[in-house]
Amino acid sequence: MSLTCRIDAVTVYRRGAEVRRVADLGALGTLPNAVTLGGLPLSLEDASVRVRIEGADGAPVARDARVALDVVESTSAAPPPDERALREARLEEARLGAVIAQAQDDVARLSELSIEPRPRSKKGEAPRASPTESRLALLELRRSRVDRLLEEIRAVEKELRRARDHRIDLEERWQRASTARGAKRDELRKAVVVTLGDGNATGSGHARLILEYTVPGARWAPAYSLRIAKDGKRAELALRAVVCQKSGEDWTAVPVSLSTADAQRFTELPELESLRIGRAQPRPPRRGWRPLPAGAEELFADYDRTFRLPPVSPPVSGRADAYEEGMLTAAEATAAPVDAVTRMGTLDDRQRVLAPRRMLAPSPPASRSPEGFGAPASAMTLDAALPKAAPASLAKRPTGMLAGLLESSSAEAQAAHLDSTIEIEQDLGADSRMLAYGDLRMPGPDQPGRGTLTLASRLEVYVAQQIHVTHEMLEVVDRELAEANEVAEGPPPPRHRFPSSQAGFDYAYRGDAPVDVPSDGHFHAIPLLSTNTKVDLRHVVVPRESQDVFRFAEIPNPLDAPLLEGPADVYLGDDYLLTTDLHVTPPRGKLRLGLGVDSAVKASRNTSFVEQSAGLMGGSLTLRHAIDVELVNHRKEIADVEVRERIPILRKDEDDIKLEVGDVEPAWEPYEQEEPRLDGGYRWRVRVEPGERRRLRASYSVKIAAKNELVGGNRRER
């Protein structure tokens, strides 16, 4: 039974995205044993599929889920424009333009239609008659015809604008056609086959099936919009983002969440170790393989007693070839005594089976395992028959753990009895395919090799309902994955930065409304959330360097997540100010933005310098400096202004020079600046009322020996 599932939510990670689909299972008690969710993109990562069922009490249980290749019927999604539609749109635009041009020519010809002046009569003759009514009729005809043509031109111009917009839209859709176009008939897609189990028979209500999977080829970068009120007290901070995805399916009217974490990352659970006082001891080695649980050989005992089936055993080594060729059955092949280590053929030319009945824990792994995937040099006890690899003509030579088990079958081990104990020393490095746990299959209780996991090939994994999977189909799947990964490797838009973890922590940003993100591989701007916050507007001026008064805004971060690096469009009321780059701001931290020069606040600086002799015999010189700063506020609001100044500093070895700070009005405070470092800095923090003039004064004196003099040109402090 096929079900239609819709995209319910999407979470875009640092790389890749997780898609959540929902399918309505309808009333309980009317469900088949298995349902198929088709129409999924080919870029879906098989190992990331998760299925669960939500609903009232008594809902069915999802027992199993597997990914398969499937074909879908043509969907009702609007396909991208074809060449015919685009050509018709261009012809329609050209036709309307020709109609307007013809009407304008008619207006020009009618404008040239004028009344000939009355012919002049000869001298002494009476004036010639003038057809006044005909002249007036000609003028009325020209006026009415021109008015009608102008009205037609205005109407056709409206149609031309609509046709031009339609043509531009078709061209954009053609140039940036989505890869998630409506599926054509017999188009290859992926599907998830879910096996359902019975729930509580007394349950009532409806249930829905939740399908989650990961797709590559998705990236995002943050952006912001800050709208400050005219009074400078409140601001609206809007978090936006640019999202790019080429997963093979459009995200239409879907709530989107953005995360700075990786979609899939291996992380081990930390172990809390005890603290011991004494001589350091080497760390105990970790065991790479665990033994089978006790009583595993009795797994099918109840089944055999119920159905009275003989136990299924692998064929003996002496009849392995006959068994592989199909000349003997499993019962005939197992008639002879079974050796400790036997060889049997696989179920087909692509499967390899490992079937020990009991496997004890290996010895500590050696340090010569460079990749750390397997446990080398292990001791293993076997009291069951081990299968062999497929013949060379059917399968490749096994590697890793299988190779270690097979190569270790010596002549002595083959001659041993079933109950004898065999110790095998071999490198148990795991093959990469042996780690694909989702591709392992368990034969049925009435099939050879029951109780063992069989590694299925990719062709067998993707087999769906009555579909013959070929290698060409696998190439299509690999090509879709390659195109999706290629999009993820592209650079972000200008001035944007891809997100990253902050201080080892990852954060998620949830959108407030559904958005549309087409699967075209291009970045699209989407809104996420908007919140109000307080604003502290301040003005900073350094009159010694410039008389421009700069305006800054200090905004507390209203989010529980940090503000990441990205561009921000700043508005003051309805007026656009500038676009600036935001730096990382921690949660509940303060964001400082420069808003440029405020021409409504003026500043001027004047200095004076006096050189006087000091001391009883005039043995020293006093260099007196005075600083006078004037501020004028032409704004309608109060301006908080910070005026920064500096005075000279002394070196440690200059004991013959003295520096004294004189009168300062109003009082200032030391100002320390790290980048670039500033010594001897001071600042005033004053509030200037609208229309007020505020004066700031400071003085300091430098005493030097009379034998020295001030050099460096003009002595007046600049």
Q: What sections of 463-583 are H helices per DSSP?
A: 471-488
In the chain, what is the straight-line distance between the N-terminal and C-terminal CA atoms, in Å? 87
Q: Which two tokens stand for residue 47?
A: 């190992």
Distance CA 174, CA 520 (A): 11
Q: Which two tokens stand for residue 53?
A: 């069922």
Q: So what's the pLDDT on residue 575?
A: 86
In this structure, are residues 653 and 661 in contact, taking their beta carbons and an 8 Å threshold? no
What region, left, alpha or beta, does residue 110 occupy, with left being phi > 0 and alpha being psi -120 to 50 degrees?
A: alpha
The 10s digit of each residue's pLDDT in 462-487 is 765 556 666 677 778 888 888 888 88
Distance CA 252, CA 255 (A): 9
Report how far Cα 575 is from the mean position of its chain's Cα atoms.
Answer: 32
Q: Which two tokens stand for residue 92?
A: 């329609």
In this structure, are residues 692 and 633 in contact, taking their beta carbons and an 8 Å threshold? yes
Element (H, E) at 696: strand 693-705
Element (H, E) at 163: helix 132-175
3-state SS record for 167-190: HHHHHHHHHCCCCCCCCCCCEEEE
Please compute Rg for the chain using Cα positions. 43
Inter-axis angle of helices 132-175 and 83-112, nearest 10: 160
Q: Which two tokens stand for residue 386?
A: 């081990």
Give per-residue burial for 386-411: e unless 16+ CB within 10 Å, then b. bbbbbeeeebeebebbbbbbbebbee
Structure letter (DSSP) for residue 694: E
Distance CA 213, CA 18 (A): 6
What region, left, alpha or beta, does residue 377 occupy, with left being phi > 0 and alpha being psi -120 to 50 degrees?
A: left
Query: Which single residue is written with the structure tokens 């604003």?
Result: 535
Read out DSSP for 210-221? EEEEEESSEEEE
Q: So what's the pLDDT on residue 618?
A: 58
How many of the other CB atoms lie within 10 Å of CB of 285? 13
Q: Do you know the residue count of the chain?
A: 718
Burial of residue 108, with CB atoms counted within 10 A of its CB: 0-12 exposed, 13-18 middle, 19 or more buried: exposed
Distance CA 83, CA 651 (A): 79
Q: What are phi and psi of 625, to 5 degrees?
A: -120, 140
In this structure, are residues 529 and 268 in contact, taking their beta carbons and an 8 Å threshold? no
Distance CA 256, CA 509 (A): 9
Q: So what's the pLDDT on residue 317?
A: 46
Check whether the bond before 284 is cis (ω within 30° of 0): no
Q: So what's the pLDDT on residue 568?
A: 92
In 3D, which of 484, 608, 620, 596 has the Cα closest to residue 43? 484
Q: How many CA atoms lie within 13 A of 302 on its CB side?
A: 3
Structure letter (DSSP) for residue 678: B
- Kindly state the greatest CA–CA separation across the chain: 152
In terms of pTM, does the model score above 0.75?
no
Residues of the chain with pLDDT under 50: 76-78, 182-183, 185, 201-204, 315-430, 713-714, 718
Q: So what's the pLDDT on residue 658?
A: 85
Torsion of CA 483, 487, 490, 492, to 10 degrees: 170
Q: Which two tokens stand for residue 209?
A: 């099936």
Q: Which two tokens stand for residue 240?
A: 């936006």
In this structure, are residues 637 and 650 in contact, taking their beta carbons and an 8 Å threshold? no
Torsion of CA 453, 455, 460, 464, to 10 degrees: 40
Read out DSSP for 359-384? -PPPPPPPTT-SS-SSEEEE--EE-S
Q: Distance of CA 190 to CAs 4, 107, 282, 635, Å? A: 13, 63, 50, 65
Q: So what's the pLDDT on residue 433?
A: 59
Distance CA 41, CA 259 (A): 22
Check whether the bond before 370 is cis (ω within 30° of 0): no
